[in-house]
Structure 1
Amino acid sequence: MGSELPTPADTVATLGEFGLIRRVTEGRLQPATTLLGPGDDAAVVAADDGRVVATTDVLVENVHFRLDWSTPEQVGRKAAAVNMADVAAMGAMPTALLVGLGCPADTPADVADQLISGMWKEAASAGAGIIGGDMVTADNLVISITALGNLAGRDPVTRSGAQVGDVLAVRGRLGWAAAGLAVLGRGFRSPVAVVGAQRVPEPPYAAGPQAAAAGATAMIDVSDGLLADIGHIATASGVAIDVRTELLVVHQRLIDVASALGADPRHWVLTGGEDHALAATFPEPAAVPADWQTIGTVRAGSGVTVDGRPYEGSSGWEHWQ
C-alpha cells in the first residue's frame, strides 16, 4: 500500500466485525478433523480418543513483532507457529486454531487479510485449520491464538518425565532467530536466512509425534532459549541436565553473522529464543529418532549446566525483566 493513507473502505471499521470475519474465512478449506467450522456460536473438532491438547499464546505489537520488520503475513505465520509448536511438544499434531485479533479501527483491511492469510498458510502446513475466534477494537495490534491438537491415542509427553541416565536431543533450528533479531536490531535486513528465521519460525511439527512414538520421556518447545527451556524440564522432573557444547552444531551462517556483529554464535544457540525447535529426553541413545541431534545427558541433581558448569549470563528470555 506504500505511503498512501487508507480510505474508509479499506479499514476494519468500515467492514465491521462480522464483515471482516466473513472476509477472512469464506472459501477456506478445513482439515477432516473440523466437523463444524466458523459461522456458529462455537466450532466442533474431532478428537480420536476423547482427549484434546490445548494451548494459547498472546503476541503484542512492538513486544513480539514489529510491522516495520515483518509483513503482516509473516506476523500471522509466526503467531500460528508459536502455538502449534507447543502442541507438537506434547507429542500431538495440531488440528485447529482459534484466533483472537485486537486492532485499532483505522487498521487497513488489507493488513487483517494478510495476517489471517499467514495464519491459514502456517496452519495448513501442519494439517490444521482456523475454526473460529473473535475480533475487537484495541489501541494496538494484539493477536491471541488457541491451538488444539490430537494425541492419536498416545499419552502426552510432559516436562516431568525425564529420568537420570536419559539423553537430551533437539530437532529444529537453534540460534537462528536470535541472530536475525541481532541483525534487525542493527538496522540491517540481511542475511535473508537469519532475518527470515526471526520473522517466521519453522517448528518441526511432525517431530513431536515422532519423538512420542520413539519413547521420549519429556519434551518442550524451545521458545525462550535452550537453556531456559530445558531448565523447565529439569525442574519439573527433579533432575539435572548437562549440555555438551562439543555436540552442538553451530551453522556456518551463524558464525559469519556473529563475526560481523562481534557476537558469540554459541550464545545464540544456547540462549536464543523464538526458533521453536523441540528439545526432548530419551531413555537411551538408540531411542533418539533420525534427524534429532543428541546434545546432552540427564543426571542426578538439579538445574542446567554447560560442559559440567553453570552457564554465565542470562539463559534465555523472561517477561517483565
Structure 2
Amino acid sequence: MSEHGTSVVGVGEFGLIDRVTARLSYGSTVLLGPGDDAAVVAASDARVVASTDVLVEGRHFRRDWSGARDIGHRAAAANLADVAAMGARPTALLVALCMPADLAIAWAEELADGLAAEAATVGASVVGGDMSSSPTLTIAVTALGDLGGRAPVTRAGARPGDVVALAGRTGYAAAGLTVLSRGFRTPRLLVEAYRRPEVPYAAGPQAADAGATAMIDVSDGLLADLGHVARASGVAMDVRRDAFEVPRQMRDAAQALGVDPYTWLLAGGEDHALAATFPPAVPLPEGWRPVGEVTPGSGVTVDGRPWEGAAGWDHFR
C-alpha cells in the first residue's frame, strides 16, 4: 500500500473525521455529537450548545498580516458563528493560549481584548481557559450557547423543494487573504474583512424561529459547506451564480490579480456567513436572501452544472 493510502493526506480532512467519529462512543448526556456545527450536551436542568476551534500561527493567521486584537476577534467569531448556526445564542467562551515564552505581554493583552470585544457583541463573556508555553503560537477557543427552548437546527433537515438562503457575505475574507498573500494591503475593504469578519449572529436564532430546516456556518467555503448539508440531509443543492453581486473593490482586485471573483464568493471561507434551507412557503427572515434550491439527488451544483475546482478549504489537502 502506498504512503498516501495509510496517511491523513490519503483520506483528507473529512474522511479522517468520518473514520475517527466512527470509533467513538457517547454517554447519555450527549444529545448531538460530532458532524454538525456544534455539539449539544445536556446539563442538569437545560441544554448547552458547545463548539471548539483552534488557530495556529502560520496556518490560520500571521502576525505580520493582522494585529493581536484582530486575531482575537477572528478566533472568537469562528466559534460564536458555529453556535449561531445551531439556532442558539452564544453565552460564553473558554480560551486556551499556547505561546512562545518571548511573546510580548501587550500582544497577549490585546488578543484578550479582541476576544472579549467580539464576545460582547452577542452578550457573551470570556469565562476561563488555560495558558501554556509552546514554540508555536496556538489559540483554542470553546464557545457555549443557549437554545432558549428551540430545537437545534442541524445539517440533516433539508428537503427537496426547500429554498437555500444566505445571511451575511461571502468571498470578502478570501479575497483579502489573496491580496495579503500577494504582498498588498489594499483594497482595505477586503483586507479588513479577512482581519475581522462581520458575522450575522442574530440571523441564526431568527432562522430557527422562522422554521429553517437545516443550517451551517460558512467557514470553509459556501459550496463545500452546503455540500456538508446536502450529504447529511441526503439531498442535492443548486446555487445560482446571479444571486451573488461582485462588489467593485472585489472586481477590481480580481482583475488585477487574475482571479475569477466567483472563486472567492462561492468557494472562499472565513466570512462566517450563515447558510440555511427553508420550506418554500416560509417567508425568509430579514437579512436572509435566496441563493439556490434543494433538489433530489446528491452533491452541489452551480447553475445546474458541476463546479470546476476546489469547493472550499480542507486542512489536509
TM-score range, shorter chain: 0.7 to 0.9
Q: Alignment partner for residue 241 of structure 2, among 211, 222, 245?
A: 245
1:51 equivalent to 2:70? Answer: no
Q: CA deviation at 1:171?
A: 0.6
In structure 2, the residue matched to 1:62 is 58
- How many equivalent pairs are there? 275
- Runs of 5+ consecutive residues of structure 2 not aligned to the other structure: 1-42
Q: Distance in 2 between matches of 1:63 and 1:70?
A: 13
Q: CA deviation at 1:48?
A: 11
Q: Distance in 2 between matches of 1:308 and 1:139?
A: 48
Q: Distance in 2 between matches of 1:238 and 1:58?
A: 29
CA contact (8 A) 1:48 1:152 kept: no
Q: CA deviation at 1:92?
A: 0.6
In structure 2, the residue matched to 1:181 is 177
Deviation string for 1:70-128 (max 9, x for gaps)? 00110011000000000000001110000000001111101110111100000001110
**TM-score, normalised with respect to structure 1:** 0.84
Q: CA deviation at 1:251?
A: 2.0
In structure 2, the residue matched to 1:25 is none
In structure 1, the residue matched to 2:229 is 233
SS of the equivalent of 2:65 reads: coil
Q: Distance in 1 between matches of 2:231 and 2:220?
A: 16
Q: CA deviation at 1:286?
A: 4.0
In structure 1, the residue matched to 2:296 is 300
Q: Distance in 2 between matches of 1:230 and 1:127?
A: 28
User: C-alpha root-mean-square deviation of aligned residues, in Å?
Assistant: 1.2
Q: Distance in 2 between matches of 1:242 and 1:226?
A: 12
CA contact (8 A) 1:163 1:239 kept: yes
Q: Alignment partner for residue 110 of structure 2, among 108, 114, 120?
A: 114
Q: Distance in 2 between matches of 1:285 and 1:64?
A: 40
**TM-score, normalised with respect to structure 2:** 0.85
Residues 50 and 246 of structure 1: CA distance in aligned 2, closer, same or farther (over 3 Å): same
Q: Distance in 1 between matches of 2:281 and 2:191?
A: 34
In structure 1, the residue matched to 2:213 is 217
Q: CA deviation at 1:285?
A: 5.6
Q: Alignment partner for residue 146 of structure 1, among 131, 139, 142?
A: 142
**Superposition map of 1:1-321 within 5 A:** 50-284=46-280, 286-321=282-317
Residues 305 and 48 of structure 1: CA distance in aligned 2, closer, same or farther (over 3 Å): farther
CA contact (8 A) 2:211 2:282 kept: no
The amino acid across from 2:238 in the alignment is D
Q: CA deviation at 1:248?
A: 2.0
SS of the equivalent of 2:305 reads: coil
Q: Which has the larger radius of gyration?
A: 1
Deviation string for 1:199-240 (max 9, x for gaps)? 111111000001001100000000000000000000000000
SS of the equivalent of 1:74 reads: helix
Q: Distance in 1 between matches of 2:281 and 2:111?
A: 41
Q: CA deviation at 1:167?
A: 0.5
Q: Distance in 1 between matches of 2:159 and 2:78?
A: 27
CA contact (8 A) 1:215 1:287 kept: no
SS of the equivalent of 2:201 reads: coil
